[in-house]
C-alpha cells in the first residue's frame, strides 16, 4: 500500500470544488419549496412531478439516444480520420488537416448551429432527429481525433513495420496491432463525444424541429421562468446512474485484474513445481 | 495502411460538408450588411470602431487568464491522479461533473455566490463579512475555469500515463532530484498534452457566452457574447460572421503557435 | 478488436432499447388519430393542464416545442424546414414577420371567441386590423424595487435611477430597445425614435447610468431580485408579478411619464399544416374560463375582458398590472424599425455595455 501523501489534500480539494455545485443541486432537489435559495424542508415532491412528466422522460430518452448514437458514429469516423492524418506523409497536408479538424472544436456553438441550419435548409433536409444526430456527429468528430491521434503517434513505428514485415495485411495490422494499442484513446474519444453531445444547447437549438427536443434545449427554455427543481431531481437521478456506471466499470476492471493476477499466480505455481 | 485510402472517405466527407462548407458560408456572409447588401463595411467597422477592438483585447486577456489558471490547477491534479491506484476510475470521476447540464451548474454557482448564498454565509460565519461575489471578474474567471478543468486534465493525464516510467527512473539513477526530473524530463515529455489542453480551452474561452451574462452580469463582454447577440438578438448575421472569421483566424494562429515542432523535418531522435 | 466490437454492439443495443421505450410511451400518450397540432411557444408560457384539457375535448394531439427569444423563433421559422401551426411573437416581431410575409391571415369568422378581447387591445399599430394576430398576454416595462433597501418615493420616475445613492444597485434588462427606450423617455423622445442624434444623446445619458449598474441580464433578473441580490431592477410586469409572488419585499412601478407596453400574440405561420386545429385551439384559449386559468398560472395580464371576471379580485384590482386608461395613455408600443436603425440601437447598446 502506498503511503498517505500530504499532496492528497490537494486532490481532495480539487474534487470538492468539482462536485460542489452538483452537491448543491442534489441537495435542493429534495427541497419542499420551489427555489434553490432557501431550503424549507425535505420532500420527494419534485421526484413525483418528474416521474409523472412523460414529456420530460421522453426528452431524456431522446437525449440519451442522440448522445450514444452520435458519439458511437463520431468515434468510428474520427478514429479512421486520425489514422488517415497519421499516415499522411507531408507535414503541410498533415497540419492542414489538423487545422480543419479543429475548426469545429473552436468555433462558437452559435455559429456552428446557424451555419448547419442554413446548410440543412439549403439541402432541403427536414429538421428533427436526423438533423440533430448529424450535427452532433459533426461536432464530436474533432474531439475524437484529438483523443486518438496522440495514441497513434506514440505507437512505435517499428511495431507497425514489424507487422508488415511478418506478412500481415493492412487489415490485420489495423485490427491486431494498431487498434488494440490505441483502444484507450478510442474510449476517451467516445466519452468526450458523449459529454459534448449531452452538454450541447446552441447547436441543437438551431437544427431541431418538428417537436424533437433534447434535455439542454428543454432546460434552457424552461429556465426563463427560473429553474424548475424537477430538473434538479432529474439531474440527481442521472448523476446517480452515471456514478453507478463508473463504479461498476471500476469494479469490473478490478475483478478482471484480480482474475488475471490469479491466473498469473497459478501459472507461476505450475512453473515452480 | 500505406495503400488503402477508402477508410478516409467518411472523414473527408465530414471535412467537406461540415467544416469547409460552413466556413465558406460564414466567410460569404461576413461580406453582407444587415440590409443584405454586399459590403466590406463589417470588416471596416470591426477595425475602426474601438468597441470591437477593445472587446477583442478583453476577450484575449480573459481567455489567457482562464486558460492559465485552468492549467495551474489541472497539471498538479493530473500528476497526482496519475500516481493513484485505479487512476482510470478517478479520471472518470473528473469527467463525470461535465455530464450535468452546464446551465444547471451555473445556477448552482449563482446560489453559492449570491448575497445570501452559502459562500457569503461562510464568510460571515468566519467573521470576514459578506462580499459582492457575483458579477465580479473573479467569479467569472472561477466559473469559466471550473467548466474547463476536466478538458485540461484529460489530455495532460493521457500524456502523463503514456510517459515511459523508465525515463523517470533513468533520470533518478543519473542523480537528478525530483524537481530536476520534473523540469527536464516529465514536463517536456508532457508538453503535447499541455498544448492539446491549451488548444481545447483558449479559443472556446474567447467565445464564452452564457456565463458572461449569468455570472459576469454582462460586465464582461467577449467575442462570443457579441456573436451570440448578432446571431440571435440583433439578427445582424453579417457582423456576427465577421467576428466568427476573426475567431477562426485566431484559432489558426493558436494552432500555429502550439504546433508540434517535432513533426517538422522528420523525426529527430 | 473484439472488445471494441462488443462495445459497439452494446451501444446499439442500448439505443434500440431506449428507442423502444420511447416509442411505446409516445404511442400510449398520443391518440391514435393523426390529428395533430404543432405549437411553438416560449418555455413555460402556458398552463400544461390546458393542453391536456384541449386534447381531451377535441381529440387533437398537441406537439409542443419551445424557444427562448423572438429572434431565435423568427430565425427558425424564416429558414423553413419546420411546420408550426401556432407561435407567439411579441408586437414588433408580429410586424416583422408580417413584412417578411411569414404569416397566414387570420380568418376572424372562424374565431367567434375573439369578441372576448378588450377593444383597447385590438387594432394596435403593429397589426392595425388584427388580420394576423390574436392577443395572448400584455404588460408593461417598469421598475421593481426592494423596500428593504429603497423607499417607494425614491423610484417613481425613470430619472431617479440616476441617483448617485444607488451606486452598484440596479440590474438592467439586456435589451437595446428597452434600455435606450428608457433613456429616450427621460429626454422626452419617443421609444420609436429613429434620429441618430436622438439615439446618440440617449446612449450618452445611459452611459452615465453605468456606475449604478450592477448587471445587465435577461430572464435571470427574477431570480436575482427574489434572492435580494440587488435593490432595483428594470424589468417587465409579468416578470415582476412572479418575483413579487415569491418575495413580499418587492414592488412594481410603472413611471407615470411613460413606458413601453408590450403584447405577446398568437399567429399562424404560412408553413402551418393544421390550420383547422389552430383555430380550434385559439377558440379554446379565448374561452374566458381557460384564459383566466392560464393567466393565473402564468401571472401575466390577460387582454380577455370576460376572463377578468374569473380572476381573483386582488389580481384584477392591482393598478400596476391592470393600469387604468389614464396610465395606458402614456404607454408606447414598439414599432418594427428599419433594419438600419435597429442596427444602430444594438451598436449603441453594445457600446454602453462595454463602458466600465
ipTM: 0.87
* Cell matching residue A226: 427560473
Instruction: Kindly list the residues from chain B whose CB atom is less than 8 angstroms away from the CB atom of residue A114.
Output: 231, 237, 240
* Cell matching residue C230: 440587488
C92 is in an annotated binding site: yes
Largest CA distance in chain C: 78
Q: Choose, out of A211, A214, A228, the residue to mutate when testing the contact with C (most C CBs < 10 Å).
A: A211
Point out the residue among B4, B108, B255 whose CB comes nearest to the CB of A25: B108
Give the C-alpha separation, B238 to B243, whole Å: 9
State whether residue B149 sits within 8 Å of chain A by CB. yes
Give the C-alpha separation, A165 to B235, whole Å: 60
Report residue B226 CA to chain centroid gap: 18
Point out the residue among A35, A131, A183 whose CB comes nearest to the CB of C4: A183
pLDDT band for B266, please (50, 70, 90 cuts): very low
Q: What pLDDT is stored for residue A153 in this prediction?
A: 84
Query: Which among C248, C259, C258 is positioned nearest to C173, based on CA atoms?
Result: C259
Could you say which residues of chain C have pLDDT below 70? 27-34
The beta-carbon contacts of C46-51 under 8 Å, at least 24 apart in sequence, are C46/C294, C46/C297, C46/C298, C47/C293, C47/C294, C47/C296, C47/C297, C47/C298, C49/C293, C49/C297, C50/C284, C50/C285, C50/C290, C50/C293, C50/C294
> Kind of pairing, strands C170-173 and C331-332?
unpaired
Report residue C240 CA to chain centroid gap: 13
Query: Which among C127, C122, C142, C123 is positioned nearest to C92, based on CA atoms?
Result: C127
From residue B131, alpha-carbon distances to A38, B121, B249, C207, C229 in Å are 19, 10, 40, 25, 11
User: What's the gap in Å between the CA of C352 and the closest CA on chain B?
Assistant: 10
pLDDT at A39 over 50: yes
* Cell matching residue B167: 525515463
Give the C-alpha separation, C196 to A150, whole Å: 56
**C321: CB partners within 8 A, 6+ apart:** C139, C237, C241, C252, C301, C315
Strand, coil or helix: what is C91? helix
Q: Choose, out of A23, A88, A107, the residue to mutate when testing the contact with B (most B CBs < 10 Å).
A: A107
Quickly name the fold that domain C140-261+323-354 has: D-Maltodextrin-Binding Protein; domain 2 (3.40.190)
| Domains of chain B listed by start with CATH number | 58-235 (1.10.3720.10)
pLDDT at A24 over 90: yes
Contact C259, C183 (CB under 8 A): no
Average pLDDT rounded to a whole number, residues A235-247: 89
State whether residue A99 sits within 8 Å of chain B by CB. yes
Point out the residue among C339, C353, C354 whose CB comes nearest to the CB of B34: C339
Q: What pLDDT is stored for residue B14 in this prediction?
A: 92
Strand, coil or helix: what is A168? coil
Yes or no, beta carbons of C69 and B232 under 8 Å apart: yes
Instruction: Kindly list the residues from chain A whose CB atom is less than 8 angstroms away from the CB atom of residue B101.
Output: 198-199, 215-216, 219, 231, 235
Q: What pLDDT is stored for residue B152 in this prediction?
A: 93
pLDDT at B1 over 50: no
Average pLDDT rounded to a whole number, residues A38-66: 90
Contact B22, B219 (CB under 8 A): no
From residue B144, alpha-carbon distances to A12, A202, B139, B206 in Å are 20, 18, 8, 11
Within 10 Å of residue A264's Cβ, how many Cβ atoms? 10
Q: Which residue of chain B has the CA closest to A84?
A: B8
Yes or no, beta carbons of A110 and B227 under 8 Å apart: yes
Give the C-alpha separation, B91 to B96, whole Å: 9
Give the C-alpha separation, A83 to A73, whole Å: 16
**Which chains neighbour A (Cβ–Cβ under 8 Å, 3 or more pairs)?**
B, C
pLDDT band for B168, please (50, 70, 90 cuts): confident
Q: What pLDDT is stored for residue C116 in this prediction?
A: 94
Average pLDDT rounded to a whole number, residues A231-259: 85
Q: What pLDDT is stored for residue B54 in this prediction?
A: 92
Angle between helices B191-206 and B137-162 (to 10 degrees): 150
pLDDT band for A225, please (50, 70, 90 cuts): low
Average pLDDT rounded to a whole number, residues A127-141: 93
Give the C-alpha separation, A117 to A134, whole Å: 11
Give the C-alpha separation, C136 to C68, whole Å: 17
Which helix H or strand E contains B199, and what residues bound it? helix B191-206
The domain spans of chain A are: 1-52, 53-227
Across chain B, what does the average pLDDT equal?
86
Average pLDDT rounded to a whole number, residues B263-267: 38
Contact B203, A111 (CB under 8 A): no
Contact C162, C212 (CB under 8 A): yes
Strand, coil or helix: what is C73? helix
The dihedral built from the CA positions of residue B30, B36, B41 and B42, taken in this order, carries a sign that is negative
β-bridge partners, C259: C331
State whether residue C247 sits within 8 Å of chain B by CB. no
For chain A, the helix, strand and coil percentages under 3-state DSSP, each to the nearest 5: 80, 0, 20
Give the C-alpha separation, A123 to B12, whole Å: 19
Query: Which among B43, C92, B104 is positioned nearest to A22, based on CA atoms?
Result: B104
* Cell matching residue B12: 473527408
Tell me which of A205 and C269 has the higher pLDDT: C269
Strand, coil or helix: what is C209? coil
Average pLDDT rounded to a whole number, residues B129-144: 91
Strand, coil or helix: what is A90? coil
User: What's the gap in Å between the CA of A265 and the closest CA on chain B?
Assistant: 21
Yes or no, beta carbons of B97 and A216 under 8 Å apart: no
Give the C-alpha separation, B59 to B61, whole Å: 5
Most confident of A258-267, B219-228, B238-247: B238-247
Given CATH 3.30.300.30, say whether it is the number of domain C33-138+263-316.
no
Tell me the CATH class for A53-227. mainly alpha
Largest CA distance in chain B: 71
Yes or no, beta carbons of A10 and B77 under 8 Å apart: yes
Q: What pLDDT is stored for residue A184 in this prediction?
A: 82
Question: Could you tell me where in chain C the CATH 3.40.190.10 domains are found?
Answer: 33-138+263-316, 140-261+323-354
Give the C-alpha separation, B83 to B79, whole Å: 7
Yes or no, beta carbons of C15 and A69 under 8 Å apart: yes
Contact B36, A163 (CB under 8 A): no
pLDDT at B184 over 50: yes
State whether residue A98 sits within 8 Å of chain B by CB. yes
Give the C-alpha separation, B15 to C162, whole Å: 53
Tell me the HSE value of B42 on the side-chain side, using a 13 A CA sphere: 28
Yes or no, beta carbons of A242 and B224 under 8 Å apart: no
Full DSSP string of C233-279 = EEEEHHHHHHHHHH-TTEEEE--TT-EEEEEEEEE-BTT-S-HHHHH
State whether residue A227 sits within 8 Å of chain B by CB. yes
pTM of the model: 0.87
Give the C-alpha separation, A76 to A96, whole Å: 21
Choose the weakest-confidence range: A149-158, B121-130, C208-217, C251-260. Answer: A149-158
Q: Choose, out of B83, B102, B107, the residue to mutate when testing the contact with A (most A CBs < 10 Å).
A: B107
The beta-carbon contacts of C155-162 under 8 Å, at least 24 apart in sequence, are C155/C232, C155/C253, C156/C253, C156/C255, C156/C256, C157/C255, C157/C256, C157/C257, C158/C182, C158/C185, C158/C186, C158/C255, C158/C257, C159/C186, C161/C209, C161/C212, C161/C232, C161/C234, C162/C208, C162/C209, C162/C212
State whether residue B93 sits within 8 Å of chain A by CB. yes
Amino acid at each position: 500500500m502506498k503511503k498517505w501523501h500530504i499532496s492528497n489534500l490537494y486532490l481532495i480539494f480539487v474534487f470538492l470544488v468539482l462536485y460542489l455545485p452538483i452537491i448543491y443541486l442534489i441537495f435542493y432537489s429534495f427541497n419542499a419549496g420551489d427555489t434553490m435559495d432557501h431550503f424549507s424542508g425535505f420532500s420527494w415532491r419534485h421526484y413525483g412531478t418528474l416521474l409523472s412528466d412523460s414529456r420530460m422522460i421522453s426528452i431524456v430518452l431522446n437525449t440519451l439516444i442522440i448522445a450514444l448514437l452520435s458519439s458511437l458514429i463520431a468515434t468510428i469516423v474520427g478514429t479512421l480520420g486520425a489514422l488517415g492524418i497519421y499516415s499522411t506523409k507531408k507535414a503541410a497536408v498533415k497540419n492542414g488537416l489538423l487545422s480543419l479538424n479543429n475548426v469545429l472544436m473552436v468555433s462558437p456553438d452559435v455559429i456552428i448551429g446557424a451555419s448547419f441550419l442554413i446548410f440543412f435548409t439549403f439541402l432541403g433536409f427536414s429538421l428533427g432527429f436526423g438533423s440533430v444526430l448529424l450535427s452532433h456527429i459533426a461536432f464530436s468528430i474533432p474531439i475524437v481525433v484529438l483523443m486518438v491521434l496522440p495514441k497513434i503517434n506514440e505507437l512505435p513505428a517499428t511495431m507497425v513495420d514489424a507487422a508488415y514485415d511478418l506478412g500481415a495485411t493492412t487489415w490485420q495490422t489495423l485490427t491486431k496491432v494498431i487498434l488494440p494499442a490505441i483502444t484507450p484513446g478510442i474510449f476517451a474519444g467516445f466519452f468526450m463525444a458523449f459529454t459534448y453531445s449531452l452538454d450541447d444547447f446552441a447547436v441543437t437549438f438551431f437544427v431541431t424541429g418538428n417537436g424533437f427536443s433534447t434535455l439542454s434545449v428543454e432546460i434552457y427554455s424552461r429556465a426563463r421562468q427560473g429553474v424548475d427543481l424537477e430538473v434538479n431531481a432529474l439531474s440527481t437521478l442521472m448523476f446517480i446512474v452515471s456514478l453507478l456506471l463508473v463504479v461498476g466499470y471500476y469494479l469490473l476492471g478490478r475483478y478482471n485484474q484480480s482474475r488475471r493476477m490469479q491466473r498469473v499466480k497459478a501459472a507461476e505455481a505450475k512453473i515452480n513445481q | 495502411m500505406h495503400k488503402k485510402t477508402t477508410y478516409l472517405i467518411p472523414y473527408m466527407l465530414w471535412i467537406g460538408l461540415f467544416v469547409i462548407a460552413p466556413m465558406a458560408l460564414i466567410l460569404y456572409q461576413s461580406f453582407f450588411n444587415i440590409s443584405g447588401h454586399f459590403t466590406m463595411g463589417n470588416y471596416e467597422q470591426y477595425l475602426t470602431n474601438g468597441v470591437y477592438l477593445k472587446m477583442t483585447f478583453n476577450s484575449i486577456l480573459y481567455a489567457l487568464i482562464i486558460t492559465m489558471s485552468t492549467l495551474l490547477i489541472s497539471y498538479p491534479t493530473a500528476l497526482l491522479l496519475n500516481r493513484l491506484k485505479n487512476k482510470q476510475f478517478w479520471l472518470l470521476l473528473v469527467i463525470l461533473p461535465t455530464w450535468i447540464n452546464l446551465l444547471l451548474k451555473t445556477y448552482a454557482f449563482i446560489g453559492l455566490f449570491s448575497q445570501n448564498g452559502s459562500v457569503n454565509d461562510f464568510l460571515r460565519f468566519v467573521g470576514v463579512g459578506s462580499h459582492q461575489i457575483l458579477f465580479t471578474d473573479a467569479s467569472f474567471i472561477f466559473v469559466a475555469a471550473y467548466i474547463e478543468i476536466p478538458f485540461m486534465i484529460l489530455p495532460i493525464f493521457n500524456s502523463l500515463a503514456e510517459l515511459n516510467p523508465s525515463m523517470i527512473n533513468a533520470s533518478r539513477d543519473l542523480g537528478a532530484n525530483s524537481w530536476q526530473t520534473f523540469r527536464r524530463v516529465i514536463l517536456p515529455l508532457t508538453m503535447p498534452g499541455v498544448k492539446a489542453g491549451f488548444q481545447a480551452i483558449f479559443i472556446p474561452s474567447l467565445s464564452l457566452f452564457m456565463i458572461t451574462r449569468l455570472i459576469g452580469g454582462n460586465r464582461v463582454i467577449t467575442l462570443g457574447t457579441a456573436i451570440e447577440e448578432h446571431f440571435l438578438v440583433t439578427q445582424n448575421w453579417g457582423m456576427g460572421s465577421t467576428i466568427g472569421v476573426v475567431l477562426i483566424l485566431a484559432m489558426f494562429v493558436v494552432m500555429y503557435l502550439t504546433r508540434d515542432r517535432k513533426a517538422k523535418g522528420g523525426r529527430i531522435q | 478488436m473484439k472488445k471494441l466490437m462488443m462495445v459497439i454492439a452494446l451501444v446499439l443495443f442500448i439505443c434500440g432499447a431506449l428507442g423502444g421505450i420511447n416509442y411505446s410511451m409516445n404511442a400510449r400518450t398520443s391518440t391514435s388519430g393523426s390529428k395533430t397540432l404543432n405549437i411553438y411557444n416560449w418555455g413555460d408560457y402556458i398552463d400544461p393542464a390546458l393542453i391536456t384539457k384541449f386534447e381531451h375535448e377535441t381529440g387533437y394531439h398537441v406537439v409542443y416545442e419551445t424557444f427562448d427569444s423572438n429572434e431565435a423563433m423568427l430565425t427558425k421559422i424564416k429558414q423553413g424546414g419546420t411546420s408550426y401551426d401556432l407561435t407567439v411573437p411579441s408586437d414588433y416581431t408580429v410586424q416583422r414577420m408580417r413584412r417578411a410575409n411569414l404569416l397566414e391571415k387570420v380568418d376572424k369568422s372562424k374565431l367567434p371567441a375573439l369578441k372576448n378581447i378588450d377593444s383597447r387591445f385590438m387594432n394596435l399599430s403593429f397589426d392595425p386590423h388584427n388580420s394576423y394576430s390574436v392577443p395572448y398576454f400584455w404588460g408593461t416595462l417598469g421598475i421593481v424595487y426592494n423596500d428593504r433597501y429603497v423607499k417607494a418615493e425614491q423610484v417613481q420616475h425613470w430619472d431617479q435611477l440616476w441617483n448617485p445613492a444607488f451606486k452598484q444597485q440596479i440590474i438592467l434588462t439586456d435589451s437595446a430597445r428597452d434600455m435606450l427606450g428608457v433613456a429616450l423617455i427621460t429626454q422626452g423622445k419617443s421609444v420609436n425614435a429613429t434620429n441618430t442624434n436622438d439615439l446618440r444623446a440617449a446612449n450618452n445619458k445611459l452611459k452615465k447610468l453605468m456606475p449604478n449598474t450592477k448587471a445587465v441580464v435577461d430572464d435571470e433578473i427574477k431570480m436575482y431580485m427574489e434572492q435580494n441580490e440587488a435593490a432595483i431592477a428594470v424589468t417587465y410586469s409579468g416578470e415582476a408579478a412572479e418575483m413579487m409572488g415569491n418575495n413580499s419585499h418587492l414592488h412594481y412601478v410603472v413611471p407615470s411619464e411613460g413606458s413601453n407596453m408590450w403584447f405577446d400574440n398568437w399567429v399562424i405561420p404560412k408553413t402551418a399544416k393544421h390550420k383547422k386545429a389552430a383555430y380550434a385551439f385559439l377558440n379554446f384559449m379565448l374561452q374566458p374560463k381557460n384564459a383566466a386559468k392560464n393567466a393565473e398560472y402564468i401571472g401575466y395580464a390577460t387582454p380577455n375582458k370576460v376572463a377578468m371576471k374569473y380572476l381573483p379580485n386582488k389580481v384584477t384590482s392591482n393598478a400596476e398590472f391592470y393600469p387604468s386608461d389614464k396610465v395606458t395613455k402614456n404607454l408606447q408600443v414598439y414599432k418594427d424599425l428599419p433594419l438600419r436603425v435597429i442596427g444602430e440601437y444594438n451598436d449603441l447598446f453594445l457600446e454602453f455595455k462595454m463602458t466600465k
